[in-house]
């Protein structure tokens, strides 16, 4: 029996179900892997490799040679990082087929991937971060009534990203039942659908309260209009089961997308006089870097970022050069500061 790539309920479809249900892969990962596998299938068909008389790819015949030819094809137009991900998708796919006894061995197992240089995203200084947080208010405070909610929303987004180091996918996926503003915590569903609890800073809590109050998602307001912190509970969701009303929505009421968050950050960084490329991931990295600079333990940062491996956190965070030199000057006996002190003592 010939096993085919294509068909609505073919091997790729089965693999996507396995990734989503059994491996708890994120929707983003599933979309990328599907696109990569379909691209590989298209390459084999256009190259006339491993085809049946009906033009389908016979998966049992795909070997290392075919994958190497595909790798050579990818090198013409793709970045190393894209190639590495595509090969990773193939490895995982063929590993699954071996598991399901569709093929005897994994033809992609020994195919080497290009070495990808680890580049750290740009970070903000503390002053730049504070300017960025204030930017939505300075733009919308004198705007029309319809713009008020958007300004409050954008401020809450920026504050939460910087305060808690969330991934942008985690931020846009937040629902009303994941926030506890009383305790100042958020329950986050991270990679692999692993849940973690992350603290939310006072400024972020205040921004969220203002935004959610504007949306009518808070109850327990005092007669004077000022909300009691103890009474600040999210109201029952207006839509969606079990509190699954999205926290951050667009002007149509739909869940905000990661791309929209990226665009608004780009707008506010420019308004703040920051002309480097800043992304949602940059704010996550800034969160970790500022904690590290202030003396936080790297394992605590690992927990808040949701990294399963400490080595990931070590690559992800870096000590600023200013902090590094400050520590060196204070601690090393041969530093400029300590050598100068000794010279004065000798005199």
The set of catalytic residues is: 167, 191, 281, 284, 307, 316
Using an 8 Å Cβ cutoff, are 342 and 334 in contact?
Answer: no
How far apart CA 88 and CA 230 sit, in angstroms, is 49
Helix 298-305 and helix 280-293, axial crossing angle in degrees, nearest 10: 160
From first CA to last CA, the distance across the chain in angstroms is: 92
H-helix or E-strand spanning residue 73: helix 64-74
Q: What span, in angstroms and rounded, lies between the C-alpha atoms of 139 and 88?
A: 44
How many angstroms from the chain centroid is the CA of residue 257? 12
Decide: helix, strand or coil at residue 61.
helix
Q: Find the length of the chain.
A: 347
According to DSSP, the β-strands at 218-219 and 233-234 are antiparallel
Cα–Cα–Cα angle for 317, 321, 322, nearest 5°?
120
Residue holding tokens 């061995």?
Answer: 105
Tokens of 221: 């307001």
Kindly write down the DSSP assignment for every residue of 229-274, as one continuous string: TTT-EEPPPSSSGGG--BSSB-TTSSBPPHHHHHHHHHHHHHHTT-
Could you give the CA distance from residue 53 to residue 29 in angstroms, rounded to a whole number? Answer: 33
Of 107, 122, 139, 157, the closest CA to residue 286 belongs to 122
């Amino acid at each position: 029996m010939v096993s085919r790539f294509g068909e609505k309920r073919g091997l790729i479809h089965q693999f996507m179900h396995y990734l989503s249900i059994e491996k708890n892969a994120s929707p983003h990962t599933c979309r990328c892997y599907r696109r990569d596998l379909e691209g590989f299938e298209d390459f084999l068909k256009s190259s006339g490799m491993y085809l049946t008389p009906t033009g389908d790819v016979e998966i049992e015949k795909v070997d290392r040679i075919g994958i190497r030819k595909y790798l050579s094809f990818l090198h013409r137009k793709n970045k190393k990082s894209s190639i590495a991900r595509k090969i990773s998708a193939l490895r995982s796919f063929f590993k699954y087929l071996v598991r399901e006894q569709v093929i005897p061995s994994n033809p992609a197992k020994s195919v080497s991937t290009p070495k990808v240089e680890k580049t750290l995203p740009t970070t903000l200084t503390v002053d730049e971060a504070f300017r960025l947080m204030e930017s939505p208010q300075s733009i919308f405070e004198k705007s029309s009534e319809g713009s008020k909610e958007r300004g409050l929303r954008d401020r809450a987004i920026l504050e939460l990203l910087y305060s808690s180091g969330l991934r942008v996918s985690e931020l846009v996926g937040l629902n009303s039942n994941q926030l506890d503003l009383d305790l100042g915590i958020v329950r986050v569903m991270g990679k692999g659908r692993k849940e973690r609890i992350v603290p939310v800073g006072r400024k972020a809590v205040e921004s969220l309260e203002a935004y959610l109050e504007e949306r009518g998602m808070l109850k327990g307001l005092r007669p004077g209009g000022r909300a009691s912190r103890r009474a600040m509970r999210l109201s029952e969701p207006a839509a969606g089961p079990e509190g699954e009303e999205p926290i951050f929505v667009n002007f149509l009421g739909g869940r905000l997308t990661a791309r929209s968050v990226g665009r608004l950050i780009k707008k506010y960084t420019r308004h703040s006089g920051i002309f480097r490329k800043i992304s949602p991931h940059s704010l996550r990295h800034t969160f970790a870097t500022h904690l590290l600079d202030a003396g936080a333990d790297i394992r605590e940062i690992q927990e808040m970022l949701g990294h399963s491996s400490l080595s990931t956190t070590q690559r992800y965070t870096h000590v600023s050069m200013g902090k590094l030199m400050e520590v060196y000057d204070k601690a090393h006996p041969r530093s400029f500061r300590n050598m100068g002190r000794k010279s004065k003592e000798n005199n």
